[in-house]
Homo-oligomer: A and B are copies of this chain.
Amino acid sequence: MRDLDAAFSALADPTRRAILARLALGEATVMELAEPFEMSQPAVSRHLKVLEGAGLISRRVEGTKRPCRLEPNAIEEIDRWLDRLRDALEKNFNRLDGVLAELEAKEGKEAQ
């Protein structure tokens, strides 16, 4: 699961999350993506490289432009990891519930 490193660390930056949010609305070129940020074009270019490296976006070539789009599958792996964590947590809580129930039962007996 080495890719999760790249994915989570790509998501850790607010600029990159904003870029993803923008791309969720549809394709956009580097310039279009750079526009809302007070940041040089090279900086945005590198953010895009990070996102691409993490498999979160992809780019096509269209003349001199490189429109970016979200790579929907990427979110899946992240989800799977979070799901597993959630599941383990839930099972653990259920087990704890069991333990607590047991403890209460025991206390009940002792109280009598």
Chain A positions within 8 Å of B, measured between CB atoms, are: 1-2, 4-5, 8-9, 11-14, 17, 20-21, 24-26, 70, 72, 75, 78-79, 81-82, 84-86, 88-89, 92-93, 95-96
Contact = CB atoms under 8 A, between A and B. Distances in A.
B21 A4 contact: no
A14 to B, nearest CB: 6
Most buried by B among A2, A17, A84: A17
Identical subunits present: 2
8 contacts: A8-B8, A8-B12, A21-B84, A21-B85, A72-B93, A75-B82, A75-B85, A79-B82
A76 to B, nearest CB: 10
Contacts of A70: 85, 89
Given A5-B13, A72-B93, 16 more contacts: A4-B17, A5-B12, A8-B8, A8-B9, A9-B9, A9-B12, A11-B12, A17-B81, A21-B88, A24-B85, A24-B88, A25-B92, A75-B85, A78-B82, A79-B82, A82-B82
